[in-house]
Structure 1
Amino acid sequence: MNSPRSGSQAVERAIAVLACFEGGPSDLTVSALAARTGLAVSTAYRIVQALVRGGLLERDERTDCYRVGPSLISLAVPSLARIDTESFAPHLYSLAARLRLTASFGVVKDDVAVTVFSARPPERFCAHQVPGARQPLGSSAMGMAILAFGSASSRRGGSVTAPSDLDRIRRVGYAATLSEDREVRAVAVPVLDAHGQPRGALGVQALRRRLTDDLVRDIVPSMRGVAARIGVNTGTAFPAFR
C-alpha cells in the first residue's frame, strides 16, 4: 500500500531537487533532475515550477535548464556569515545601475566560490548575468580573483589554474573566464581588506557579444573602486583567504 501524499513528502521532494545543484552542474534540465532524484518527470516538473515561482530556482529560456535562483542565494547568506548586507548592497546596486549589469559578491566556502549576493540592474537584465550559487574556485572568475591574491599556499589549492594565469590576474587586477560553450564571459576583481588579504570577489557576467574586450577595459576600474569600498566593510564579516 502506498503511503498517502503529504505536505512533508512534497517538502522532502523539493529539498531533494535543490540538493541536485550542490557541488555539481549549475544548470540542469527537468529530465536530469528527475533522474538524479528518482522522481517521475511530471512530478519533478511540478516541483521545479513551484520552486521557480518562489524564486528558489530560475529557468534559462535559451537552454530550458534550471539553476539556483536569487531567493535561495539570499537565504544562504546567514549560514555563511552574520553580516548586514546593507553595508555593501547599496554599492553593488549602484554599480549594477551604472554598468547595466548584475553585480555579484562571492566568498570562499568549503573550497568553492559561493555567491552570497547579486544586485540586478534596473534595465538590460538577463538570466546570463546571474552566476552560479557555487562555482569551482580554480576555474570561475570570482574564484580565480580570490585565489590569485591569496597566499602562495592557498594558490596551490587552485590546481585548475596555472601559476602563470594567477600571476597575470595579479598583474592586471582582474580575472576573466568563458563558459563551456564560450558564449558567456565573466569578469571579477578581488575584494581586499586593509591588510591586502582577499575577503571575497566582485563579479559581473553577460553574453560574450555584449561583454566585449573594450567594455571589460571600461568597467574594471569602476569594479575595483567599488571592491575597495566593500573591502572596508567586510574586514571582519568573512575570513581572509590565506
Structure 2
Amino acid sequence: MPVTEPPRSGAQTVDRAVRVLECFRGGDPELSLSEMAQRCGLPVSTTFRLAQALVRGRLLEQDPTSDRYRIGHGLASLARPALARLGLDAAAPHLYALAAGIKITVSLSVPDAGEALTVFQARPPVSFCHNQIPPERRSLHTSSVGHALLAHTPVGGGRGELIDTVRKRGFAVEEIDGEDPIRAVAVPVLGPGRQVWGALGVQARAVRLDHDLVRAVVPAMHRIAVRIGPYFHTAAAGTEFDAR
C-alpha cells in the first residue's frame, strides 16, 4: 500500500503555506521546487501542492521556461497597505533619490525582536554591486544600524562608550572583515518627539567607501533622514524597542 501523509488540519495547511512563502526571505529571487522543499522541510509532493495553490492565488509566480518560483504580484498588492501604514510609500522616492545621488544602495532598518530588520532597500541606477546589500537581520549590538538605533533610544536603552560616541557624532560606522572588507555607515531616523523609529544604512567595499566618502555621504543621509522622519509618525508611536 502507498504511504500517505496523515490528515492535515486547515491551520496546519496555512502554517505550511507560510513556510513556503518564507523560503523567499533573503537574497534568492527564484527557487526550484526541490530547493523550496528542502528549505521548508516538507516532502516535494506537499510543497508542490502548496506552491500551486499559492500560484493560483497570485502570491507566487512560476516561470514557464524554468519552472522556478518567485514572489507574485498578489503578495505585493497585499503588502501595500502595510507599507503605507509604515510610511514607506511616501519615503521611497526620497530613498531612491539618495541612492542615486550617492551611487550606493540605501537600506532602511527598524528594531524588531532585539535585532535590526531591513524593511526597504533603494538601489542606485549605477555603481551597484552585491556588497551593498546587507543581511535581512543584524544584531543591534554589533551592526552600524543597530548602534544608530541604540544611540537614540530612551535613557537606559543604549549605553557604553561606543554608543555614546555614536550619539555625539550622529552616525555609526561598522567594519566588516572578509576577503574584500566592507564598511557600513548608518544614521538614525527620528519620529515625533525625536523618538527613534529606524536607521538609514549604506555599505560598500571599504576601498570605495573610504573615510573621505563617508564624510561626504553622511550629511546627505542626515538630510533624507530628517525629511522622511515625519512620514513615520503613526508607526513610531507603536514601535517597541527591545535592546536585550
Q: Same fold (TM over 0.5)?
A: yes
Instruction: Supply the distance in 2 between the matched residues of 1:142 and 1:184 (Cα, whole angstroms).
Output: 14
Q: 1:229 aligns with which of 227, 230, 238?
A: 227
Q: Could you say which residue in structure 2 is the equivalent of 1:174? A: 171
User: Secondary structure at the residue paired with 1:105?
Assistant: strand
Would the aligned equivalents of 1:112 and 1:134 in 2 still touch at CA under 8 Å?
Answer: yes
- TM-score normalised to the size of structure 1? 0.68
**3-state DSSP of counterpart to 1:152:** coil
Q: Find the partner of 1:102 among 95, 102, 105.
A: 105
Give the letter for the 1:128 counterpart.
N
Query: Which residue of structure 2 lines up, in the alignment, with residue 195 of structure 1?
Result: 193
Q: Specify the SS of the correspondent of 2:227.
A: helix
Map 1:4-43; keep pairs closer than 5 Å: 16=19
Of 30, 54, 60, 2:70 maps to 54
Q: 1:209 aligns with which of 204, 207, 216?
A: 207
Q: Which digits, 9 at most, give the CA deviation of each residue in 1:145-200, with x for residues without a partner?
A: 011111122225xxxxxx10001101111011122527121110000124222111
Residues 211 and 225 (structure 1), Cα distance of their counterparts in 2 relative to 1, 3 Å cut = same
> Identity over aligned residues, as a percent?
42
- Give the distance between the partners of 1:36 and 1:86, measured in 2 at CA: 31
Partner SS for 2:93: helix
Structure 2 gaps of 5+ residues are 6-13, 29-35, 52-61
Per the TM alignment, residue 137 of structure 1 is displaced from its structure 2 partner at its CA by 1.3
- For 1:227, the aligned partner's letter is A
Alpha-carbon spacing, 1:169–1:119, altered in 2? closer, same or farther (3 Å): same
Q: Is the 8 A contact 1:198 1:241 kept in 2?
A: no
1:74 shift after superposition? 10
Q: Which runs of 5+ in 1 are unaligned?
A: 5-10, 57-71, 157-162
One-letter identity of the residue aligned with 1:178:
E
2:145 to 124, 129, 142: 142
Task: Tell me how far 1:54 sits from its aligned partner.
Answer: 2.2
Tell me the amino acid that sits aligned with residue 99 of structure 1: I
Q: Which is worse superposed, 131-140 or 92-101?
A: 131-140
Amino acid in structure 2 at the alignment position of 1:197: Q
Give distance in 1, aligned partners of 2:145 and 2:76: 16
Q: Residues 77 and 86 (structure 1 numbering): CA distance in 2 closer, same or farther, change over 3 Å?
A: closer
The 8 Å contact of residues 175 and 182 in structure 2, kept in 1 or not, is answered as yes
SS where residue 167 of structure 2 aligns?
Answer: helix
Displacement of 1:108 in angstroms is 0.9
Q: CA distance change for structure 1 residues 103 and 27 in 2, over 3 Å: closer, same or farther?
A: closer
Kindly tell me the number of residue pairs found equivalent between the two proteins: 212
Alignment of 1:85-100 (within 5 A): 85-100=88-103
Give distance in 1, aligned partners of 2:92 and 2:142.
Answer: 26
* Residue number in structure 1 paired with 2:126: 123
In 1, the alpha carbon distance for the partners of 2:116 and 2:80 equals 13
> Which range moves more in the overlay, 186-195 or 91-100?
186-195
Task: Tell me how far 1:76 sits from its aligned partner.
Answer: 6.9
1:149-164 correspondence to structure 2 within 5 Å: 149-155=152-158, 163-164=160-161
Q: Secondary structure of the equivalent of 2:109?
A: strand
Distance in 1 between the 2:70 and 2:119 partners? 18
For residue 154 of structure 1, give the secondary structure of its aligned residue in structure 2.
Answer: coil
CA deviation after TM superposition for structure 1 residue 81, in Å: 7.9
Cα deviation digits, residues 37-65 of structure 1 (max 9, x gap):
6579xxx9xx9xx8986269xxxxxxxxx
* Equivalent pair of 1:193/1:234 in contact (CA under 8 Å): yes
Counterpart of 2:201 in structure 1: which amino acid?
G
What secondary structure is seen at the aligned counterpart in 2 of 1:177?
strand
Q: Are the structure 2 counterparts of residues 208 and 104 from structure 1 closer, same or farther at C-alpha, using a change threshold of 3 Å?
A: same
